[in-house]
Chains A and B, each alone.
Chain A
Amino acid sequence: MPPMKSEDTTGPVYWRSLEELQRTPEFREAVKREFPNDAWDQLPPATRRQFLKVMGASLAMAGLTACRWPKEEIVPFAHRPEGRTPGVPERFATSMEMDGVALGMVVTSYDGRPIKAEGNELHPDSLGALSAIAQADVLQLYDPDRSRRLLLREGGQQYVKQWSDFEASAVEDFGGDGTGLAVLTERSSSPTRSLVRDRFLDTYPKASWHEYEPISRDNEREGTRLVFGRPLRVHPKLDAVGVVACFDADPLFDHPSSLRLAREFAGARHPESGAGARLYVAESSFSLTGVRADHRVAIASSRVPVVLARVAHLLVAEHHIELPAAAAGYAGEAGQTLSGEETRFAEHLASDLANFQGGGAILVGHQQQPAVHALAAVLNQVLGSTVEYTADPDPDRPTHLQAINDLVAAMRAGSVQTLLILGGNPVYNAPADLRFGELLGEVPVSIHLSLYDDETSQRCTWHLPRAHGLESWGDGRAWDGTWTTRQPLIAPLYDGRSALEVLALAAGMEHTTGYELVRDNLGGRFRVLDFDTVWRRALHNGVVGGFAWETVSPRLSPGRLAVAVDGLRALLDAAPPTSERLELVLTADSRVWDGRFANNGWLQEVPDALTKVTWDNALLISPGTARDLGIDDGEMVVIEAGEASIEAPAFVLPGQARGSVSLALGYGRTAAGQVGNDVGVNAYTLRTTAAPHVISGAKLRGTGRKYALATTQDHFAIDTLGFEERNLRVGTLVREASLDAYLANPEVFHEHEHHPPLISLWKDQAYEGEQWGMAIDLNTCIGCNACVVACQAENNIPVVGREQVLNQREMQWIRIDRYFKTEPGLRSDEIDDAEVVFQPMTCVQCENAPCEQVCPVAATQHTTDGLNAMVYNRCVGTRYCSNNCPFKVRRFNFFNYHKDLADTTMMQFNPEVTVRARGVMEKCTFCTQRIEAVRIGARNDNRPIADGEIVPACAQTCPTQAITFGNLNDPESKVSKLHEEKRSYATLAELNIRPRTQYLGRLKNRADGGGDVGHGAPHGEADGRGKETA
């Protein structure tokens, strides 16, 4: 479906109630349970909230009753809103804001229930894609653990309050000129909010304002300040067909516009169109970017400046690049000895940078010191890189660490009487050495607005329920400044209010509803007669044109550069880490980010891209270091950093830098909710203002206790036999070749296929009409898990929990297979470094599907359009099909996984997909519900289905567009063309199962032309192994 069909998205119409509401007695019960404080019978006439709750949950229940049908009621509108056809999904453009950057999305709403978030093609940071985290935001909306009421905590007592109570008490709390009044808030780019903030600070001139984010790009910002004399926002570009060097940087994951960057990255990697960029990565722990690197060197984070400095040195010394006088200091011999690996990396990179001047870029990770960013900025300047700059939206803002430091100082001084905390969770995520929690207890009046009654709320006097992003009005700015609107898709389920509204209330503004605030603010910018049209268009598109910031071409400011150079020198002198004095790197988690999504089942169960660990964070340690310290995979270890120490399970990860261990933040929550409580360990307890990201001198001690990490793939460490076999198979399953080899011989991906001719016993079936197929480009897949969550959201896939995952019963229909590629001949206990390849694996819809023939009740059959259909309501659950599936992509409902689901959570269900009962097999069917929807529509107006009209959830959300779906019988369709490409191959084709999904081989573009040629050599090995067998 093309995004944003409904032209007539007017303000207050869309969230009105739905057509058919099957209301059952059980459901009334459910409502009472869910919403104790309002009795069904005394419903105020058609209040939106009641209605939404009712219809949403009820529909979901309808989805669940899969047996003989009970007496059902049909409850139509009393007044059906104009332009509204009940039962037909609608799509609305809105946005979500994280760390002060708004990400545009289009949310599908079914009869008033937002059920799925997709990317907004018009938004520069989305381009139609959405990250796993952003998609999972929908589930958070319905989270039954979200706080439902205002709480006042006084003298150990806890009172339930109403907003009116708060408004009343707020009057005195926010009295006078704001002396003793402090505000701590999340970073926000919302123009409306800055307006309201100004109004607030006007009202309370003495009030202090602090913005804190645990994870931010402040270092980069400060780096630019050092180089250019003013903070700038850095806009990397990856679409250049040149060379990109990432130093601890992961632009494909942790950058606010990672989705755009991923799209650019993929664009630069299509050999058929001559695009072949080269990616260098030097990092301490495997990142999504690192996985895709052509040259990767695993070095401790504290070595990054050293290597970068060497690159600078080489550029000047070997390649005669002129540094400006002020930066001359960089040119000097770095005085550090580099390992052979590091040197080779530096040399290759230096010469490539020199060759690709104007077509390259050096990116540095946000956890690196400003001085390192500074050096990168200088080099980018002199090399004329593709990096662009815009002015920082808020140049006077102190860094987040500074901000919270100031606040804590004030709290210590006792000068804070009233502390208003808008969002965030400082008690949990403020640097440990600040002891924020304790100090908070001493503040007379502390108010926390939050989705959950979380760690911070529990230490505040007031807790205010916050409206979810999909429940509230707002706006924000994309990374490039594009004005992004946010509109609610559902009235607040839990009586929450947005930060905007609360702030406006505190500021004593006359208009305090989000709708008015946002509309007025935008209206203020447009001096046009017909603002209404502008407004509608803005809501419809989700973005307002012409508001992106101008790029600036800054000049080096000599004054500060000196500081930068000295800063760098200091870093260079640091001793490299060893197994005894380890370096501990605290990273943002690929799933719960900084911990705010800890209570989100989808994200908790998404396997981490590299470790495949779910429901936990683990201490990543390189095999070498593990051997030095005698630590086993999965052993509980004690990490000592400074005076703090915690216990965490160790995960041995090849490709992790020696002497560097890393641990993800965001776990070990104590007040996250039923899902997120006590999952993993809390790394924030090790985090200090001095060393927020990279802690040196950490010690590691094994405890000998084992801990079972719930991974969806077996660990790297398995028995030798399996290890060797796995190495043999990787090459044939995930085919890879060097770009040079491929260009020289396009057949390289098929060279090693030899199996007897694939003849069928029977006459082949004639497949006429549409024949659906898929192509997945392994060269552009970055393993970001977006498709996994998209599929989960679209297909009502249950979350099963850690215990079940431990027992290999995870339910996601797509899994991203991760293989380590190590030098042949090495034993598993000799490995230290490794390359990683990803392969998204879901049902490939075999034409000769082994699963179909063995089902005794014909519950899985082949449809005339070539799908391997799975009929849930016919399945008796023999599991024979799963046994006989060579890809093991079928999933089984071992229990009734929906039994304990809250009614609100059920509201997320997609009514177009059956909710599977216990004892039933399920799997991917190329989103058959989407196919049917389009097919019926096309047939209704007697037209053929256009290529690209049907888009499965996974393909829709893929940031790199690695997944292509379409009609294989149409030679013009994109998918047919991709299947024609030389890189295209079918996995396990030798079984003559004829998969409908084909993979496009992966390419490596190394400077030395190296990289494996073809897909490794399993046969020679096989024969050798054959002898062994004899």
Chain B
Amino acid sequence: MSEAAIDSVSYLDNTGDDPAVRARLVVGDNDFHSVTEKVCGIVEQPRPPKMWWVAFAAASSLTLVLFACIGYLVTTGVGVWGLQVPVGWGYAIVNFVFWVGIGHAGTLISAILFLLRQRWRTSINRFAEAMTIFAVVCAGIFPGIHVGRIWFAYWLFPIPNQMSMWPNFRSPLLWDVFAVGTYATVSLLFWYMGMIPDLASIRDRAKTKLRFYIYGVLSLGWRSSNRHWHRFEFAYLLLAALATPLVLSVHSVVSFDFAVSIMPGWHTTIFPPYFVAGAIFSGFAMVVTLIIPTRKYFGLEEIITARHLENMSKIMLATGMMVGLAYSTEFFIAWYSGNTYEAFTFLNRAFGPYAWAYWTMVTCNVLVPQIFWARKLRNNTVVLWVASILINVGMWFERFVIVVSSLSRDYLPTSWGYYRPTAIDVLTFLGSFGLFFTLFLLFVRFLPMIGMAEVKGVMPQAHLDRPGHRGHGDYHGDIAGVEVV
């Protein structure tokens, strides 16, 4: 049997590219129940392992730092940050773009890969979607707190008021409000909807009344009816179809914040695709950074297999090169346009006071991913993990370079400046990681971190037990054949 053929390669390695056989997405001798066991087991263990507590303690204390910084900021003024004229946007906006970027992987994996029938997504999409939501939560904080008068931030929303005033819909910032708001909502819906059947599994395995009620309510009384499944699948498809353009639009709109302005280095037409590519890039990097330790720690190697990691490393390689292309295009256009201001801005990025940031960015985002050409390296989880972290660093610096270095030297040399972050800047940024990891840890503790229903759907056993059909997904319901049997 071809299954044997695959297993003979190695027990866990399913990275082989033998066109004759479709590689297995769940390895080891797993049946439906063992999958359920593995995934629900994590949620059901009476008390979380020590490591979890350690991590949680660290993360939550960082979160406190975040809130402390915000409190100080609100009571004292944005002056506690390194902002000034000309650089009116600093860490806050850099972090915002960084987090929103990260927040793209989830929806992308669930939606676009779903539409592209990439079945390997099933093992990681839940996880990635969760990450998306938490990243967007972190992202959402920054535009909120970076304004000078936070208590009036609600003026950005079109609420009828006694001033008979409305916000200015011609401002990209307002587009942002809608884009990010929509994105957060839709991602949440998508995530939750996908979870309903799995929440039902946990409900049905509940040993205590409390657990039963909580997961019972969360799973809305799902009874795995196929008539429900039918609509569920449709809704899922529709959401995917909606989320795909959305995910592309969100970072495009974020990029409009810059592209619509007249600042050299910002006013660029390639920003939308450039930003989206970067977002996917950083998103996958973050997924890898999180998933490698998690899968190891919770023993999920059989479900989140080496093949999954490899696919992601390939995507990172591709997007990394798109980003690299964007960098060089910017330079070319700066020269080709003959616009001296534009030209200087880019020279200044590469050789000016912020050169250090620029070259960090290039190294991490363009050079590092190149190692993924080598199969050995990309299949080495340690290398992959370190690389993914470097890519995250690089992507943060990309945003830093775009926001800060462009602003610091614009048209009039007399108003050039140099932006230095303060301790509060840095602590707030670190704090946002605290919040991110806190939410993430709570997620792995209390919610099914793998879409069991979907994983089972791509397991061999999910299909008619018939030679030639082994592991073959699409069934196009040729029931006629069945009737003959």
Direct contact of A and B (CB under 8 A): yes
Name which of B83, B88, B351 has the most chain A CB atoms within 10 A of its CB. B88
**Total contacts A to B, CB within 8 angstroms?**
184
Q: Which of A855-863, A933-941, A953-961 contacts its partner?
A: A855-863
Contact B149 A917 (CB under 8 A): yes
Contact B352 A719 (CB under 8 A): yes
Contact A857 B85 (CB under 8 A): no
Asked if A546 CB lies within 8 Å of chain B CBs, one says no
Within 8 A of A (CB), among B327-384: 331, 334-335, 338, 340, 343-344, 346-348, 351-353
Q: Mark B76-92 against chain A: 1 for CB-CB distance below 8 A, else 0.
A: 11110011111011000
Q: Which of A332-340, A417-425, A1021-1029 contacts its partner?
A: A1021-1029
Name which of A850, A890, A893, A894 has the most chain B CB atoms within 10 A of its CB. A894
Interchain nearest-CB distance for A916 vs B (Å): 10
Contact A855 B155 (CB under 8 A): no
Contact A919 B78 (CB under 8 A): yes
Please indicate the chain A residues that have their CB under 8 angstroms from the CB of B171 in the complex: 853-856, 880
Interchain nearest-CB distance for B59 vs A (Å): 30
Asked if A988 CB lies within 8 Å of chain B CBs, one says yes
Interchain nearest-CB distance for A912 vs B (Å): 22
Contact B147 A850 (CB under 8 A): no
Please indicate the chain A residues that have their CB under 8 angstroms from the CB of B150 in the complex: 919
Decide: A883 near B338, CB < 8 A? Known: A722-B352, A817-B412, A888-B86: no
Contact A887 B411 (CB under 8 A): yes
Asked if A1030 CB lies within 8 Å of chain B CBs, one says yes
Name which of A722, A850, A1030 has the most chain B CB atoms within 10 A of its CB. A722
Interchain nearest-CB distance for B92 vs A (Å): 10
Please indicate the chain B residues that have their CB under 8 angstroms from the CB of A1030 in the complex: 335
Asked if A882 CB lies within 8 Å of chain B CBs, one says yes
Decide: A722 near B413, CB < 8 A? Known: A850-B262, A875-B149: yes
Please indicate the chain A residues that have their CB under 8 angstroms from the CB of B257 in the complex: 880
Asked if A815 CB lies within 8 Å of chain B CBs, one says yes
Contact A887 B412 (CB under 8 A): yes
Please indicate the chain B residues that have their CB under 8 angstroms from the CB of A888 in the complex: 85-86, 410-412, 415
Count contacts on A: residues with CB < 8 A to the other chain: 63
Complex: A855 Cα to B170 Cα, angstroms: 8
Q: Which of A153-161, A462-470, A623-631, A723-731 contacts its partner?
A: A723-731
Contact A854 B347 (CB under 8 A): no
Q: Which of B148, B262, B351, B410 contacts A892 (CB 8 A)?
A: B148
Q: Mark A881-906 against chain B: 1 for CB-CB distance below 8 A, else 0.
A: 01110111011111110000000000
Complex: A888 Cα to B410 Cα, angstroms: 9
Interchain nearest-CB distance for B184 vs A (Å): 18
Asked if B315 CB lies within 8 Å of chain A CBs, one says no
Contact A857 B261 (CB under 8 A): no
Decide: A879 near B415, CB < 8 A? Known: A721-B347, A858-B165, A886-B410: no
Q: Which of B172-180, B216-224, B385-393, B435-443 contacts its partner?
A: B172-180
Please indicate the chain A residues that have their CB under 8 angstroms from the CB of B414 in the complex: 713, 815, 817-819, 841
Complex: A815 Cα to B347 Cα, angstroms: 28
Asked if B324 CB lies within 8 Å of chain A CBs, one says no
Give the residue name and chain of the A residue nearest to B414 (CB): A817
Interchain nearest-CB distance for B359 vs A (Å): 15
Q: Which of A722, A733, A819, A991 contacts B409 (CB 8 A)?
A: A722
Count contacts on B: residues with CB < 8 A to the other chain: 58
Please indicate the chain B residues that have their CB under 8 angstroms from the CB of A804 in the complex: 79
Contact A1025 B85 (CB under 8 A): no
Complex: A920 Cα to B156 Cα, angstroms: 15
Interchain nearest-CB distance for B334 vs A (Å): 6
Contact B340 A809 (CB under 8 A): no
Within 8 A of B (CB), among A203-228: none
Please indicate the chain B residues that have their CB under 8 angstroms from the CB of A893 in the complex: 77, 148
Please indicate the chain A residues that have their CB under 8 angstroms from the CB of B147 in the complex: 876-878, 919
Within 8 A of B (CB), among A978-1030: 988, 991, 993, 1018, 1022-1023, 1025-1026, 1028-1030
Complex: A713 Cα to B411 Cα, angstroms: 14
Asked if A714 CB lies within 8 Å of chain B CBs, one says yes
Contact B174 A728 (CB under 8 A): no
Asked if B53 CB lies within 8 Å of chain A CBs, one says no
Asked if A674 CB lies within 8 Å of chain B CBs, one says no
Interchain nearest-CB distance for B432 vs A (Å): 19
Complex: A721 Cα to B350 Cα, angstroms: 11
Contact A886 B411 (CB under 8 A): yes
Asked if B167 CB lies within 8 Å of chain A CBs, one says yes
Please indicate the chain B residues that have their CB under 8 angstroms from the CB of A719 in the complex: 352-353
Give the residue name and chain of the B residue nearest to A883 (CB): B88
Complex: A876 Cα to B148 Cα, angstroms: 6
Asked if A348 CB lies within 8 Å of chain B CBs, one says no
Asked if A918 CB lies within 8 Å of chain B CBs, one says yes
Interchain nearest-CB distance for A716 vs B (Å): 11
Please indicate the chain A residues that have their CB under 8 angstroms from the CB of B407 in the complex: 883
Asked if B307 CB lies within 8 Å of chain A CBs, one says no
Give the residue name and chain of the B residue nearest to A725 (CB): B344
Q: Mark A811-833 against chain B: 1 for CB-CB distance below 8 A, else 0.
A: 00001011100000000000000
Complex: A255 Cα to B78 Cα, angstroms: 44
Please indicate the chain A residues that have their CB under 8 angstroms from the CB of B170 in the complex: 853
Please indicate the chain B residues that have their CB under 8 angstroms from the CB of A725 in the complex: 344, 348, 413
Please indicate the chain B residues that have their CB under 8 angstroms from the CB of A878 in the complex: 146-148, 173
Decide: A879 near B83, CB < 8 A? Known: A722-B416, A856-B156, A1022-B340: yes
Asked if A807 CB lies within 8 Å of chain B CBs, one says yes
Contact B410 A876 (CB under 8 A): no
Please indicate the chain B residues that have their CB under 8 angstroms from the CB of A921 in the complex: 148
Give the residue name and chain of the B residue nearest to A810 (CB): B85
Contact B168 A858 (CB under 8 A): yes
Complex: A880 Cα to B77 Cα, angstroms: 17
Within 8 A of B (CB), among A838-884: 841, 850, 853-858, 874-880, 882-884
Contact A886 B262 (CB under 8 A): yes
Give the residue name and chain of the B residue nearest to A884 (CB): B261
Complex: A815 Cα to B85 Cα, angstroms: 13
Please indicate the chain B residues that have their CB under 8 angstroms from the CB of A890 in the complex: 85
Complex: A719 Cα to B354 Cα, angstroms: 11
Within 8 A of A (CB), among B398-442: 407, 409-417
Decide: A896 near B77, CB < 8 A? Known: A721-B351, A807-B84: yes
Contact A877 B413 (CB under 8 A): no
Contact A1026 B343 (CB under 8 A): yes
Interchain nearest-CB distance for B176 vs A (Å): 8
Complex: A894 Cα to B148 Cα, angstroms: 7
Decide: A721 near B88, CB < 8 A? Known: A819-B413, A875-B149: no
Asked if A343 CB lies within 8 Å of chain B CBs, one says no
Please indicate the chain A residues that have their CB under 8 angstroms from the CB of B291 in the complex: none
Asked if B260 CB lies within 8 Å of chain A CBs, one says yes
Show 17 A/B contacts (Cβ-Cβ < 8 Å), sorted by A.
Answer: A809-B79, A856-B168, A858-B165, A858-B166, A874-B165, A876-B148, A876-B149, A876-B155, A877-B147, A883-B261, A887-B415, A893-B148, A894-B78, A894-B83, A896-B77, A919-B148, A921-B148
Sorted nearest first, the 5 A-B pairs with minimum C-beta distance are A877-B148, A919-B148, A894-B79, A879-B88, A888-B415
Known: A807-B82, A858-B167, A876-B152. 9 other contacts (CB 8 A): A730-B413, A818-B414, A819-B413, A876-B153, A878-B173, A879-B83, A883-B89, A884-B263, A1029-B346
